[in-house]
Amino acid sequence: MARTRAIIFDLDGVLTDTAEFHYQAWKRLADERGLPFDRHHNQALRGVSREESLRRLLGPLKVSPAKFAAMLHRKNDYYLAMIATLTPADLAPGAADLLRDLNRANWKLAIASASRNAQQVVDRLAIRRHFAAIIDGAAVTRSKPAPDLFLEAARRLDAHPQTAIVIEDAPSGIEAARAAQMRAIAVGPDAAESPADLHITSIAELNVELAESLAADPAYGAAPTVSSNCFGPF
């Protein structure tokens, strides 16, 4: 039986620059609370869940569960106001052609994003038709760097993890892909030092030929090297 050829995309920072919206929303919340927060601090929040992001933002500061929930809600309101301005023109350069070409080449595609607002972003960008599955942070208990999001995406695509390729911009996402025993393509400078199979500066550099080349690698379909602290098998 032929293997399902699957590519799993992160969303923020890969297919669109909503990562900047997340930064602006966290920055506004931090400023309201008088908490130190800049782009350097923001790197620790890339690719992780909203709850974990707030815990990292607060650091040793303790707040009540009610206040914690209120802060999460406020940050999300700030973010939602910004993504309401998104249009298909905000899709990353080259992404529309890439998705179309991968569909034509019979690759099965999924989005796996830690954001619980991924569905809204996908609809604002008008790209839902390209994907067989869209998995957001509400679909799993553990977020990246745990492999759960990517394993759930592979399950929905009916693809074995070892024959799936992940496209990520955050180190935590690359770590999750490796823990899931998937191939990984790192996009942009933040994941430049990560143990990915391929590093590109933007999604515009990726094409069907590169995906086919990675799939043709003799090691494709065999477990990549992962650290001993991976989160378990599929």
123: annotated active-site residue: no
The tens digit of pLDDT for each residue in 50-66 reads: 899 999 999 999 999 99
Which CATH number does the domain housing residue 139 bear?
3.40.50.1000
Residue 207 has pLDDT above 80, yes or no: yes
Same domain, yes or no: 168 and 110: yes
- Please give the pLDDT value at position 9: 98
Residue 175 has pLDDT above 50, yes or no: yes
Same domain, yes or no: 113 and 126: yes
The catalytic position among 12, 136, 169, 197 is 12
Q: Is residue 227 part of a domain?
A: no
Q: Is residue 230 part of a domain?
A: no
Same domain, yes or no: 184 and 194: yes
Q: Is residue 226 part of a domain?
A: no
Residue 231's pLDDT band (cuts 50, 70, 90): very low
Range of the domain at 157: 6-16+90-216
Q: Are the C-beta atoms of 173 and 144 separated by less than 8 Å?
A: yes
Question: Would the pTM count as exceeding 0.75?
Answer: yes
**DSSP code of 186?**
E
Point out the domain boundary residue: 26, 59, 83: 83
Same domain, yes or no: 122 and 178: yes
Our count of domains for the chain comes to: 2
- Please give the pLDDT value at position 49: 82
C-alpha dihedral over 185, 48, 38, 89, to 10 degrees? 60
The tens digit of pLDDT for each residue in 95-106 reads: 999 999 999 999
Q: Are the C-beta atoms of 197 and 114 separated by less than 8 Å?
A: no
12: annotated active-site residue: yes
Q: Is residue 229 part of a domain?
A: no
Residues of the chain above pLDDT 90, percent: 69
Same domain, yes or no: 48 and 111: no
Alpha-carbon distances, residue 54 vs 26, 30, 50, 176 (angstroms): 8, 10, 6, 20
- Please give the pLDDT value at position 14: 94
Closest Cα partner for 107 from 133, 88, 125, 135?
133
Residue 227 has pLDDT above 50, yes or no: no
The tens digit of pLDDT for each residue in 67-79 reads: 999 999 999 999 9
Same domain, yes or no: 152 and 37: no
Take residue 116 and report the two structure tokens written for it.
């619980």
